[in-house]
Structure 1
């Protein structure tokens, strides 16, 4: 998904920008936000339900033979459509977006971003299978930054990923978020690194 060398580069970028702010950045990269195992079965059952109508009109097959064909269609399609690329292609964009947002919100809580001293944690979340990127900021920084700024960073990040520049796009996003944090929450004299800088990789 991402090499150890690139993970080290990203961790270094996070550490560098955090030197200029009391805010915290956490990067989570997930292979997928959801499995969508029911999707292939749903499409296979819909196809199986539609199968008898053409057979009834165009053939003289018995009801029992048509039932067997229905079962075969359901089994074959549920197997074929379970292939990851086909499965993800069948999931509506709105469902993938909702699943990505839910996963990002879950990671925001799980990684301790709500527990920083000044509520200035920022999560960068990627779900590669869904092509979903999201930035979530805690209240100490979210209340000071227009939502459109985060959306612009996400748009540029997804464009970079689409162009095959995953690591470079993430480093640029980290630097832009770091600049925002440095402006609004500069480092304190007693500042400590509250959250790890390492890249969190999820299967």
Structure 2
């Protein structure tokens, strides 16, 4: 008898993954800012912001030159999320911006448009990063990967 290893169901299809990675690349194109997307099925913390903070640190997001990294954390099955901006971007946009982005995700999630919501959130974060941290030719490097990080 052969035993096959259990293969967990993928959270996103390949097409959805490509859409989200492309959204990150487009959002970062004209900014020195960095956006990461961290996705998992369940959040093991009571407050998803605690999980986002842990992921932020583990992904070295606080080490960007201008402290302008933003993490979008989503626990799909729990329908929880957190958006965490580093000190540099937070000082520019303030709490109101993050509340607005949270509302955007909530609206999309309530209508079961998760990919569209994440994509729209990334686009708006990118627009703010471009405003406050425009790309400087010859001086900007992509400091963090543009891929999606999948947790547990």
TM bucket by the smaller chain?
A: 0.7 to 0.9
Question: Structure 2: which 5+ residue stretches go unaligned?
Answer: 1-10
Secondary structure of residue in 1 paired with 2:134: coil
Does the 8 Å contact 1:133/1:158 carry over to 2? no
**What's the Cα RMSD here?**
1.2
The match for 2:17 is 7
Secondary structure of residue in 1 paired with 2:83: strand
Candidates 117, 120, 145, aligned match of 1:196: 145
The number of aligned residues is 141
C-alpha deviations, 1:3-52, integer Å up to 9, x for none?
Answer: 11111111011101111100000001111111xxxxxxxxxxxxxxxxxx
Q: Which has the larger share of helix?
A: 1
The match for 1:24 is 34
Partners of 1:31 and 1:158 lie apart in 2 by 17
The question of 1:171 aligning with 2:119 is answered yes
Does the 8 Å contact 2:34/2:144 carry over to 1? yes
Candidates 97, 110, 128, aligned match of 2:76: 128
The Cα of 1:112 is off from its aligned counterpart by 1.3
Question: Structure 1: which 5+ residue stretches go unaligned?
Answer: 35-94
C-alpha deviations, 1:160-186, integer Å up to 9, x for none?
Answer: 122111111111001100000000000
Q: Which has the larger radius of gyration?
A: 1
What TM-score do you get using the length of structure 2 for normalisation?
A: 0.88
